[in-house]
Chain A
Amino acid sequence: MCSDPSLLEGWQWLWCYLSTPKHQQFYASFLVVFAVLIVTAPVTMILGFAGALARRSAFLPLRCFGIVYTSMIRGVPEIIFFLFVPIALDQLVEFIRHRIKCPEITDPIYQGADFVVCMAAKMPLGSSPQWAHGLWGFTLAVIAFSIVYGAFAANTLHGALNAVPQNQLETARAFGMSERQIFRRIHLPQMWTYALPGLSNLWMILIKATPLLFLLGIEDIVYWAKELGGAKTSYFAYPHPDWRLWYFLALLVFYLSLTRVSEVVFKSLTARVSKGQSLLGQATAS
């Protein structure tokens, strides 16, 4: 039916237009957004916990590291980090690979503006299929996202750990629990009620930050919306005027529904972790 688009009209034209392979790439790019969220969220939580515990550590260097990590990243615009981390990491990896694989080449790696490593040190290799390049770019992006939001999560968790009433911990001590037991049985479970509002906020920010993938050269939904929406002349099989407005409207609806669903989930989660916490119940009621 879609073999000759110039003969089509109305709904048929639209149906064929929306099912071109190019549009299918657009639909697939929504999965990229979900993939970023699904991978980034747990890594962020791990980094957040590590950062929060580092800040509470009795060991001074570790504590310093925790403080530097959380405060430094909080003080730098995310965009700068998103642009810096992937390039720096990419060059670092290639630099190390160059040293391992081509020790015989002694030419400087920085030649003027060029960053020159041997063919075998390229990451991924020039001969790798395109998906490998995509995956590598995606990995770098996820690492950049995780480092940044891990610092925010560390702050939230640090604050939440401090917010648990001291008398709860003292009571546990009076029962003769060890510090480890106190942390696992009393401190951690109660911490969640204080952490969840901050973490849900962070999740929303993370969702809203996913269009920044576009900046890192990843073909996400913003890239495709812009590309597909732009005016098309008859070089293309489906010429149309500037439709970016409609494509961006679709993205708007997508993000709104995603954040709406998240809100509902977090609400029920909050209700669950506050169960049986009488002190907190008063706090939320007032």
Chain B
Amino acid sequence: MKKILIAAMIAVFATGSAYAQTVRMGTEGAYPPYNFINDKGEIDGFERNVGDKLCEIAKLECVWVKNDWDSIIPNLVSGNYDTIIAGMSITEERDKVIDFTDPYFPADPSAYMALAGAGADVTKGNVAAQVNTIQSGHVAGSGATLVEFATPDETTAAVRSGEADAVFADKAFLQKIVDESKGELIFIGEEVILGKGVGLGVRESDAELKGKLNAAIAIMKKDGSLNALIAKWFDGMKGPY
């Protein structure tokens, strides 16, 4: 027993003299087309492609890590991974806690989705949004009753089940759901543009990584590869870069 304990202590406190710079990329894996877990069980989506390309340009060795959305900032800050790449809009509130790179995706419209024919009113009824998103902040200030959920999937399920009158989320996320609902779900109300675009989140103390990523993003914007990825994942959308 004692020997096992000592061996364990050595393993915990003495390992790893040789290490390379590995960057751990934290994402949610539940927000297609930005990021999701495909049927192979791997992280896939727009941000997977962007992230892999950025790492290739910046010559970083990258590993992908899944983390729930509601703890994604605390776990970055405590060092479980080194970046957040999860469709996170750059906002001043978040900027106080973490740092953002330059945006790799423009500020995109958010939209309301509701059951067709239910006549939902997005300024009064119950509106679902994912917790700690810019959309949930917007709903809270819109006069509607905010119903928050931990995952994007639960917000749309709440509309189908009638628990919420509408859901407010990135239009790109809702688009396929509306398209494939056979007319059951529709967009209602007005689209709103929120935030200052989507960037990677890094620790405030991690200026070096931020610099490397910004340089790589600039290269991708210049050579058109970022626009190509935006077009690939967002139904031919024309990238602004």
Using CB atoms and an 8 Å cutoff, list the residues of chain A in contact with chain B.
20-22, 24-25, 87, 90-91, 93-94, 96-97, 100, 111-117, 119-120, 122-128, 130, 133, 217, 219, 226-227, 230-231, 233-239, 242, 244
Task: Please indicate the chain A residues that have their CB under 8 angstroms from the CB of B37 in the complex.
Answer: 22, 227
Cβ B71 vs Cβ A217 within 8 A: yes
- List the A residue with the shortest CB-CB distance to B179: A233
Given A233-B176, A234-B176, also A21-B39 (CB < 8 A): yes
Closest to A96 in B: B13
Q: Which residues of B contact A93 (CB under 8 A)?
A: 12-13
Of the residues B33, B71, B204, contact of A114 by C-beta under 8 Å: B204
Say yes or no: A126-B176 contact (C-beta < 8 A), given A22-B38, A113-B77.
Answer: no
Nearest-CB residue, chain B, relative to A25:
B41
Contact A114 B32 (CB under 8 A): no
Residues of B close to A91: CB separation below 8 A: 78
The reply to whether A21 and B79 form a contact with Cβ atoms under 8 Å apart is no
CB pair A125–B205 under 8 Å, yes or no, is: no
Complex CA–CA separation, A120 to B19 (angstroms) = 7
Interface size on B, residues (CB 8 A): 48
Of B13, B36, B77, B204, which is within 8 A of A100 by CB?
A: B13
B interface, CB within 8 angstroms of A: 12-13, 15-17, 19-24, 29-30, 32-33, 36-41, 45, 61, 63, 65-68, 71, 75, 77-79, 82, 97, 151, 153-154, 156-157, 160, 176-177, 179-180, 203-205
**Known A126-B19, A242-B157: A237·B78 in contact at CB below 8 Å:** no
Closest partner residue, chain B, to A126 (CB atom): B22
A133: chain B residues at CB < 8 Å are: 65
Cβ contact within 8 Å between A125 and B39: no
Looking across the interface, which residue of chain B has its beta carbon closest to that of A133? B65
Complex alpha-carbon distance, A227 and B38, angstroms? 11
When chains A and B are docked, how far (Å) is the Cα of A117 from the Cα of B77? 11
A107 to chain B, nearest CB (A): 9
- Docked complex Cα distance between A20 and B20 (Å): 33
B79 close to A115 (CB less than 8 A): yes
Q: Which of A115, A126, A238 contacts B77 (CB 8 A)?
A: A115
Chain B residues contacting A115 (CB-CB under 8 Å) are 77-79
Complex: chain B residue closest to A228, CB-CB: B37
Q: Which residues of A contact B203 (CB under 8 A)?
A: 114, 116
Inter-subunit contact A230/B151 (CB<8 Å):
yes
Q: A111-B205, A226-B151 are in contact. Are A235 and B22 (CB under 8 A)?
A: no
Measured CA separation A67–B97 after assembly (Å): 41
CB closest chain-B residue, reference A115 = B78
Contacts of B79 in A (CB 8 A): 94, 114-117, 122
Please tell me if the beta carbons of B41 and A22 are within 8 angstroms of each other in the complex: yes
User: From residue A18, how far is it (CB to closest CB) to chain B in Å?
Assistant: 11
**A97 to B12 CA separation, bound complex (whole angstroms):** 8
Which B residues lie within 8 Å of A234 (CB)? 176, 180
Question: Which chain A residues border B66 with CB–CB below 8 Å?
Answer: 219
Q: How far does the alpha carbon of A111 sit from the alpha carbon of B63 in the complex, in Å?
A: 25
CA distance A90 to B12 in the complex (A): 11
Whether A114 lies near B30 (C-beta < 8 A) is no
A-B contacts besides A128-B16, A237-B39, A242-B160, 8 pairs, CB < 8 Å: A114-B203, A116-B203, A119-B21, A125-B22, A126-B22, A230-B30, A235-B38, A238-B39
- How many angstroms between the C-alpha atoms of A11 and B202 in the bound complex? 46
Indicate if the CB atoms of A233 and B41 lie closer than 8 Å. Answer: no
Complex contacts, B176 vs chain A, CB 8 Å: 233-235
Q: State whether B13 touches A127 (Cβ < 8 A).
A: no
Known: A231-B157, A239-B180. A114 touches B40 (CB 8 A): no
Chain B positions within 8 Å of A237 at CB level: 38-39
Residues of B within 8 A of A244 (CB): 157
